[in-house]
């Protein structure tokens, strides 16, 4: 499969790194900056072209007629969209464009059906949606969704007083009587898929899957003060695109109080006009005096969403030190994600990482579009595990066979089965059927089809 990536900033470079590792992908990169193209060509197995992605000659050099997927990730929405249109005209089969303007995102159907752009990724809108989900369950570190939002994958850190601590999964199943599945555990530097005899220990980070209804039951079960822990007020530092999209979502959800502190006066005016139910304060959110004047300690959640990663990390550490219930940090530089986690920051949202994972998901789905291929992909626990969602499209040898009678590869677990509107937490006597949506957690990288989970 031939893939062409234009725009080799953080997103484009990360895509080149991930895709060039798979020998089944033939990757070409295009960027105006020769220093960037040379560097990536030296580090990764890619063909590098230095030039303007809007130039027909440059796209001809990249041979669009043989290109399966053309991916545009420059800093300009217009350049991304126009380059996709030219690439499509020159023969590229699928085109993916990163866009940040909501004006373009709202025209997705037109872009796809009339202009031939297969997929548009809005990282800011997606990041806002991720933060909104986390705020609904403040004990969670991260929340991912499968099956069009009907199944959740929750990440938690286990504290000493948590009823899950120092119990095996079999004991927890009997005690909680809730349809959840703990499907991944990080303990120190070790990441593993647990079994029934695995004991959950304090300071473990776990992932569990369940339907929305069961997730609510679960959080009520692990905390007698569940209701008092809900987020009723949110302080947001930075009034950029993510903050704007998030504020709209929080207003729709009925959050009691939302305040945005933004340093740019013109931006404050824009936000005030568009967000009538949100408090907008013009000031430097990195100034301790201003934070105290704005009542930082009176908010349930603190969100550091400025455009500078280092500021967001420092602000989040300060908010944690003051004892704010929920702290969420936006980080764009992928290289800073592990550093931020080492400081004890857990709920981290990265628009660039979201973009990379969304595009990788699309690429891998196209790789095996005729089989039971990927429709959703997330990377878990410092990218050491993958959560993959497949839909079974045809009758295979494993269909209708009890799971206990199937032979799976090691380090793989079926975490969820959605059959119509029925959510199934898989057990040995359960089985897979055609049209099932199946969530798989695996330590194996690069899987593209559900058939690959079997030994």
Residue 438 pairs with which residues in a beta bridge?
Answer: 390, 417
The segments of the chain whose pLDDT lies below 50 read 224-228
Closest among 311, 135, 349 to 233, alpha carbons compared: 135
Q: Kindly report the three-state secondary structure assignment for every residue of 348-387.
A: EECHHHHHHHHHHHHHHHHHCCCCCEEEEEEEECCCCEEE
The total of other beta-carbon atoms located within 10 Å of residue 268's CB is 18
Given this model, what pLDDT does residue 449 score? 85
Q: How many angstroms separate the CA atoms of 149 and 172, rounded? A: 26
Question: What tokens were used for 448?
Answer: 């593209």
> Domain 2-121 is of which CATH architecture?
3-Layer(aba) Sandwich (3.40)
Given this model, what pLDDT does residue 227 score? 42
Given this model, what pLDDT does residue 180 score? 92
Given this model, what pLDDT does residue 228 score? 43
Question: What tokens were used for 255?
Answer: 């959050």
* Interacting residues of 174 by C-beta distance below 8 A, sequence separation 6+: none
- Whose tokens are 């055609």? That residue is 434
Do the Cβ atoms of 162 and 176 come closer than 8 Å? no
Determine which helix (DSSP H) or strand (DSSP E) holds 390, and give its type and residue range.
strand 385-391
Question: What tokens were used for 213?
Answer: 């209804």
Question: What tokens were used for 173?
Answer: 């199943």
Q: If one looks up domain 126-228 in CATH, what number appears?
A: 3.30.70.1450
Question: What tokens were used for 181?
Answer: 């599945």
Count the alpha carbons within 13 Å of 145 in the hemisphere toward its beta carbon: 12
* Interacting residues of 265 by C-beta distance below 8 A, sequence separation 6+: 282
Q: How many Å is the maximal CA-CA distance in the chain?
A: 66
Classified by CATH at the fold level, domain 232-324 comes out as: Rossmann fold (3.40.50)
* 2-121 and 126-228 have identical folds: no
- Cα–Cα distances (Å) from 135 to 255, 327, 332, in that order, read 10, 10, 20
Coil vs helix vs strand at 411: coil
Do the Cβ atoms of 205 and 156 come closer than 8 Å? yes
Q: How many angstroms separate the CA atoms of 337 and 275, rounded? A: 31
* 8-state DSSP, 55: -
Q: How many angstroms separate the CA atoms of 298 and 16, rounded? A: 45
Superfamily holding 369-453: Regulator of K+ conductance, C-terminal domain (3.30.70.1450)
Do the Cβ atoms of 138 and 328 come closer than 8 Å? no
Given this model, what pLDDT does residue 85 score? 94
Torsion sign across C-alpha atoms 410, 337, 208, 143:
negative
Given this model, what pLDDT does residue 131 score? 95
Given this model, what pLDDT does residue 226 score? 40
Given this model, what pLDDT does residue 244 score? 96
pTM for this one?
0.83
Q: Got the DSSP string for 156-185?
A: EEPPTT-TTTTEEHHHHHHHH----EEEEE
- Whose tokens are 């959510």? That residue is 423
Count the alpha carbons within 13 Å of 413 in the hemisphere toward its beta carbon: 20
- All structural domains of the chain with their residue ranges: 2-121, 126-228, 232-324, 369-453
């Amino acid at each position: 499969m031939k893939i062409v990536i234009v725009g080799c900033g953080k997103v484009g470079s990360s895509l080149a790194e991930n895709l060039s590792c798979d020998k089944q992908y033939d990757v070409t990169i295009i960027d105006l900056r020769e220093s960037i193209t040379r560097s990536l060509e030296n580090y990764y197995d890619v063909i590098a072209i230095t030039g303007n992605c809007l130039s027909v000659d440059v796209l001809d050099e990249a041979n669009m007629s043989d290109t399966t997927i053309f991916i545009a990730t420059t800093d300009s929405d217009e350049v991304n969209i126009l380059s996709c249109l030219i690439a499509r005209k020159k023969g590229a089969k699928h085109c993916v464009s990163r866009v940040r303007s909501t004006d373009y995102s709202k025209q997705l159907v037109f872009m796809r059906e009339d202009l031939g752009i297969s997929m548009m990724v809005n990282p800011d809108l997606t990041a806002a949606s991720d933060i909104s989900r986390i705020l609904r369950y403040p004990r969670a570190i991260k929340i991912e969704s499968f099956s069009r939002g009907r199944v959740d994958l929750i990440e938690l850190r286990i504290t000493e007083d948590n009823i899950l601590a120092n119990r095996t999964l079999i004991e927890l199943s009997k005690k909680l009587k809730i349809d959840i599945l703990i499907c991944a555990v990080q303990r120190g530097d070790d990441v593993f898929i647990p079994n029934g005899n695995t004991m959950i220990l304090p300071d473990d980070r776990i992932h569990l899957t369940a339907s929305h209804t069961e997730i609510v039951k679960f959080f009520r079960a692990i905390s007698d003060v569940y209701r008092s822990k809900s987020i009723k007020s949110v302080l947001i530092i930075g009034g950029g695109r993510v903050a704007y999209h998030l504020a709209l979502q929080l207003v729709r959800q009925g959050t009691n109080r939302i305040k945005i502190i933004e340093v740019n006066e013109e931006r404050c005016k824009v936000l005030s006009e568009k967000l009538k139910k949100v408090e907008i304060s013009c000031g430097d959110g990195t100034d301790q005096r201003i934070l105290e004047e704005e009542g930082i300690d009176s908010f349930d959640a603190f969100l550091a969403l400025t455009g500078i990663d280092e500021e967001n990390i420092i602000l989040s550490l300060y908010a944690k030190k003051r004892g704010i219930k929920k702290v969420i940090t936006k980080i764009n530089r992928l290289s800073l994600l592990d550093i931020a986690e080492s400081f004890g920051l857990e709920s981290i949202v990265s628009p660039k990482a979201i973009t990379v994972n969304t595009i990788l998901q699309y690429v891998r789905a196209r790789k095996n579009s005729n089989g039971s291929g990927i429709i959703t992909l997330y990377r878990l626990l410092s990218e050491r595990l993958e959560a993959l969602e497949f839909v079974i499209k045809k009758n295979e040898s494993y269909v209708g066979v009890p799971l206990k009678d199937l032979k799976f590869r090691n380090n793989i677990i079926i975490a969820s089965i959605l059959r119509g509107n029925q959510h199934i937490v898989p057990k040995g006597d359960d089985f897979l059927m055609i049209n099932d949506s199946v969530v798989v957690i695996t330590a194996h990288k690069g899987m593209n089809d559900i058939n690959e989970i079997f030994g």
